[in-house]
Amino acid sequence: MIEQITVQNYILFDKASVEFEDGMSVITGETGAGKSLLIDAIGYLCGGRIQGSIVRQGQDKAVLRMVLTSSPAADALLLEHGFEPEEVLTITRTVNAAGKSQVRLNGQITTLGFIRQLTARLIDIHSQLDTIQLMDPAVQLDLLDQYAGVDRQGVQDAWKEFASARQALQQAQNETYSDEELEFVTAQLNEIDSAKAGEGELEQLQESIRTASRSQKTEEEVREILGLLKKDGGILESVYELARVMKKNPGLAGRSDEIQSLYYQLESVGEEAQEQLDSVRDQARDLDAMQDREYQLKRLYRKYGGSREAMMEKRQALETRVDRILHRQDLFDKLEKQKKAALAAYVEKARALSKAREAVIPELQEQILSHARDLMLEHARFEIRRTDKTPGETGMDDITFYASMNPGQPLTPVRQSASGGELSRLMLALKTVFQTREGIDTIIFDEIDTGVSGKVALAMGSKMHKIAENRQVLCITHLASVAVWADRHFTVSKESDGQTTLTRISELDHEETLRELAIMAHGHATEQAVDGMRELQKEVLDGQSPVSH
């Protein structure tokens, strides 16, 4: 239920706030005063697309805010999208002068797509355009399925499975299977296999190449070390000679062992240096081979996707292709079998859906006719006809609403048989039937009474009031016969000082409501006109109106 709507710097409004309650509320006012602006604002707060600027002239931004009561269906969606369910939801949409907007839910930034999903579970906005859309067979199918409470997802999923299987078979049948292609694909597969590229091999190669590239400098350093140690008159020879001489000297003979130990240590360093020199020489000899291997791997990787992983994926695809060429008939048989199985699964679910639809058609027809007669369509006949259609995501049924509004008139599709006013009443009859099943708390009627008057308008007001027994109903109307049924009455007025124009909305008390009704009905609020509205209102409240409700 919508509890409050607040707008600021919004088109003709500088600032306005309206609080709504349960029951039926009407919004009236002269043409052009801005009645529909509030409904438009609710539409924008429900994630609707904004066309043109809605920012009041001279202002930087418009701020729209709606406070509404949540529901179990809305709470489930909130949990699914990571929001904490709350009893009261506040949706705020800020729009700047450039047309860019931001939407928040309870202060948290979110997306318009999510807001559309959320509010679709809470609010139903019905306008003249929706009445026109009733003529679309696709909309009629949706309404029937909504009434039947069926879930088309299973049929849609089964259709997608079948469509995918059918496409796979068609693709396989359209592929070429020549000997030349087999030779070409096999050559590519052999090229990859013969390379025997190991996982991580290229990285290891590149590290070895870097090490080998540094070997020349390393070799020079090691040769210099060996030269210092082993050349004639070098360090080893000198230390050895030093130890020999010290042994002969009584004063130093005791320390000759230290020099002897140093000699052995230096000799060990020389052996290690020689091993390193041999290794460096081997690496230098391997460098050319490693660089050749690196080139080979890089060329293959570039050719088959840019990396070893991509190349191996390509190899799998090539192997699959070879298998498809060599065993194409087996492949055709397999894909044909999969297609038939998918089609059978789809047909089973689609037939079950058709039976569910057919089962509720008689009941739905009777309920719609009952409400249509309440709306002064005494001679109306109404049928829902199902015919077979080409299978698709919605099943195998074409659904068309047929109607006859006058005696002697044959049943024809609704788009051919109903005038604007009759179509509005038929849609209201549908809303009355569906509102008990939708689980939606708020229904908004935006001037759906266009083209009707008198007792017909009274009947439409009665039907809206009936819906408001279980749902919140907001109604924009220009007819006193509809507005008289309201539990609360708001009026929109426009003021201008010649330079600026402001639109205001205010709730009327009882006497103000009667005067507004008199003006709507007669164009003036004379005492006689007001008394007439008082009497009509009394009849409506006492249930004495000529229209049952």
pLDDT of residue 416: 79
- Give 171: exposed, middle or buried? Use CB within 10 Å, 0-12, 13-18, 19+: exposed
Strand-pairing partners, residue 27, are 476, 490
Residues in the chain: 549
Token pair, residue 19, equals: 């609080």
pLDDT of residue 511: 93
Q: Which of 25, 38, 21 is nearest to 493 (CA)?
A: 38
Question: What DSSP character marks residue 55?
Answer: B
pLDDT in tens, the chain (549 residues): 999 999 999 988 989 999 999 999 999 988 777 788 888 999 999 999 988 889 998 899 999 999 999 999 899 999 998 888 999 999 999 999 888 999 999 999 999 999 999 998 899 888 776 667 778 888 889 889 988 888 899 999 999 999 999 998 998 887 766 777 778 888 999 999 998 999 999 999 888 888 777 776 677 788 888 888 888 888 888 888 888 888 888 888 888 888 888 988 998 988 888 888 877 777 667 788 888 999 999 999 999 998 999 999 999 999 888 877 777 778 888 899 999 999 999 999 999 999 999 999 999 999 999 888 888 888 888 999 999 999 999 999 999 999 888 888 889 888 777 667 777 788 888 878 876 555 688 999 888 777 777 888 888 898 889 889 888 999 999 899 999 999 999 999 888 777 788 888 999 999 999 999 999 998 898 999 999 999 998 888 776 454 544
- Give 174: exposed, middle or buried? Use CB within 10 Å, 0-12, 13-18, 19+: exposed
DSSP strand pairing (13-19 vs 395-404): unpaired
CB contact at 8 A, 344 and 352: no
Q: Report the amino acid identity of residue 93.
A: R
pLDDT of residue 6: 94
Q: How is domain 1-122+440-508 classified at the CATH fold level?
A: Rossmann fold (3.40.50)
Strands of the sheet with 13-19, listed across from one edge: 13-19, 2-10, 61-69, 88-96, 101-105, 108-110
Instruction: Classify the C-alpha dihedral 388-391-395-399 as positive or negative.
Output: negative
Domain regions of the chain by residue span: 1-122+440-508, 179-326, 509-542
pLDDT of residue 216: 64
Token pair, residue 459, equals: 């009947």
pLDDT of residue 439: 66
CB contact at 8 A, 172 and 324: yes
Q: What number of other Cβ atoms are within 10 A of residue 471's Cβ? A: 21
Q: CA 200 to CA 366: how far, in whole Å? A: 74
pTM, two decimal places: 0.64
> At 528, which helix (H) or strand (E)?
helix 527-542
CB contact at 8 A, 401 and 413: yes
